[in-house]
Amino acid sequence: MATTTTRPPRPDHDAGLLKAVTRHNAARCAALALCSIAGAGAALLLPFAIGRALDAVLAGHAAGHVGADAGRWILLCTALVAASALLDAFDGVLTGTTNARATAWLRGRVGRHVLGVGPRATARFAPGDLVARLVDNAAHAGVAPATLAALLAALVAPVGAVAALALIDGRLALVFVAGAPVLVLLLRAFVRVSSDCAARYQQVQGDIAGRLGEAIGGARTVAAAHTEDKEAKRVLGELPELSRQGHRMWRVQGRSQAQAVAVAPLLQIAVIAVAGHLVVQDRITVGELLSASRYAVLATGIGMLVGQLGGLVRARAAARRLGEVLTEHATPYGTADLPPGDGLLELRGIKAVRGERTVLDGVDLTVPAGSTLAVVGRSGAGKSLLAALAGRLADPDEGDIRLDGVPLRSLSHQELRREIGYAFERPALLGATLEDTIGFGAPRPAPGRIREAARAARADTFITRLPDGYATLCADAPLSGGEAQRLGLARAFARGGRILILDDAMSSLDTVTEHHIAEALLHHTPHRSRLIIAHRAATAARADVVAWLDDGRIRAVGTHAELWKRAEYRKVFGE
């Protein structure tokens, strides 16, 4: 079972990930910031224009008529209101597209990295947890660029409002500044507490997703064992904790907003009271009093930053979880190509440790060029890991693996995958149609080659019986386990290459079908050498040589007939 470790991410995969996605959307963020700042500017100008309009109207009323000056200020107020609405609409569209673009970039980057890491990724992270990180966490982290741009404008409005109060009368600004530290302390406390809440919530969410993925993968086993209730309790066991963290997060945000809302009116009242006193003393006009009241509201809007800071906190926590995935190094490849050869595979001094267990220890094995070697052994002997190492789906902790004299680590990715083919016990049927599945990964496979490979794998018979034949959608094809394995074998046959590795790829086939496929495998496929993980004596008997793997070590190498004379070897096959 895959588990998620708590190894902390490197700094460049945490805050650095948010910086990278922001740089990727730099132009949009700049446009969004300009739009938000323009909106803040319109909001700052509006109280000034309203105050001037009021003063002009009062002056005109005292003179017995409303002059053109009042009309101009009223027209400016109308224009500012219209501009604010237009900028707000544009801001909404730009924010949505920036969030979508940033989320897509994060998913692409992390998704490509997971594929580059390969099977090691699911050894550290449960598949369901990986999906949760790619889907949910990437969406939360993707709001960071737009939120940062909007946060800049959100700071412009309060700062500009304080400056406007100072321009009206310095005492008004001093009143606000005297109480502003309380708001700042509230925001600081909110960021500190909510960061822990968001991180814990997302971690629990990932754990539930991982358990759900495991349950879906083992649905048939669960149904057969009639343990649905027990499995449901296991999957949903963390829901109370998820609920606690969710409620805690909303309580923190609600409390911070309530505190800010409680403090803000006090500051506004204080500013308006001082402004009223200044009006009585004829230090400011009635219009400036109205403007001051509006600027007091804008200045205390710093308390409304709680929501945006909460979004940034969740984005940072989500980026941290994505960064944990990026700490798994992608498999490095060389640049070498293979010389002419017939598929000589050599494993020397191979040691592989998984967790605290040494699965393979000191394995020396050679697959002679142009031959078929079968690896047999009891369950847990290390056969599947040996198959993964042989084609560099994993790397050993010690030792060297060479193909036609060239270390696998030195080969380019393209050369390695072109010359080494795989077929698995449970092949993934990738591609839209059955034809796509067989040709998946092969460079421009011709239809004739696909059908030839299908016939060699004994898949052509059941494919042609389907109404749409090779054009049948994979999702619509009613396939048994054996038929799925035959498609996987056909895909391996279609690719060609120097060596073909079969990891228990014929375990679901009946004896007759296996016999026909084994004959095709040995005599009618383009691969020059073959390494087969065998569980049946009949499969081992058809190989040129058999390697008997026992407790992570090669116990004996010889023909099946030679090894069959040993009682312990026969016990491997239950004989």
pLDDT for 103 equals: 93
Could you tell me the pTM of the whole model? 0.72
Task: State the alpha helices, DSSP H only, in 64-126.
Answer: 68-117, 119-124
Calpha distance 227→111 (Å, rounded): 33
pLDDT for 126 equals: 81
284-322 tens-digit pLDDT: 888 888 888 888 888 876 555 666 777 788 888 888 889
DSSP state of 11: G
pLDDT for 12 equals: 46
Q: Where are the domains of the chain?
A: 11-326, 345-572
Calpha distance 17→326 (Å, rounded): 10
Calpha distance 206→196 (Å, rounded): 16
Bridge partners (DSSP) listed for residue 569: none
DSSP state of 274: H
CATH superfamily ID and name for 11-326: ABC transporter type 1, transmembrane domain (1.20.1560.10)
Which of the following CATH numbers is that of domain 345-572: 3.40.50.970, 3.10.180.10, 3.40.50.150, 3.40.50.300? 3.40.50.300
What are the C-alpha distances in Å from 93 to residues 23, 83, 142, 199, 319? 20, 16, 15, 29, 24
Bridge partners (DSSP) listed for residue 351: 361, 398
pLDDT for 132 equals: 86
For the chain, residues with pLDDT lower than 70 are 1-15, 61-67, 183-184, 186-195, 220, 253, 256-262, 301-307, 443-445, 523-524, 575
Calpha distance 500→358 (Å, rounded): 26
In 3D space, the residue among 147, 130, 128 whose CA is nearest the CA of residue 138 turns out to be: 130
DSSP for 494-515 reads HH--SEEEEESTTTTS-HHHHH
Q: Which two tokens stand for residue 452?
A: 């030839």
DSSP for 370-386 reads T-EEEEE--TTSSHHHH
What are the C-alpha distances in Å from 495 to residues 126, 399, 413, 441, 481? 30, 28, 15, 7, 22
Calpha distance 162→268 (Å, rounded): 12
30-86 tens-digit pLDDT: 898 888 888 888 988 999 999 888 888 887 766 555 567 778 888 999 999 999 899
Exposed / middle / buried, residue 374 (Cβ in 10 Å: 0-12, 13-18, 19+): buried
How big is the CA angle at 305 (ends 299 and 306), to the nearest 5 degrees? 135
pLDDT for 6 equals: 40
Residue at token pair 């040709």: 439
Q: Which two tokens stand for residue 442?
A: 């092969």
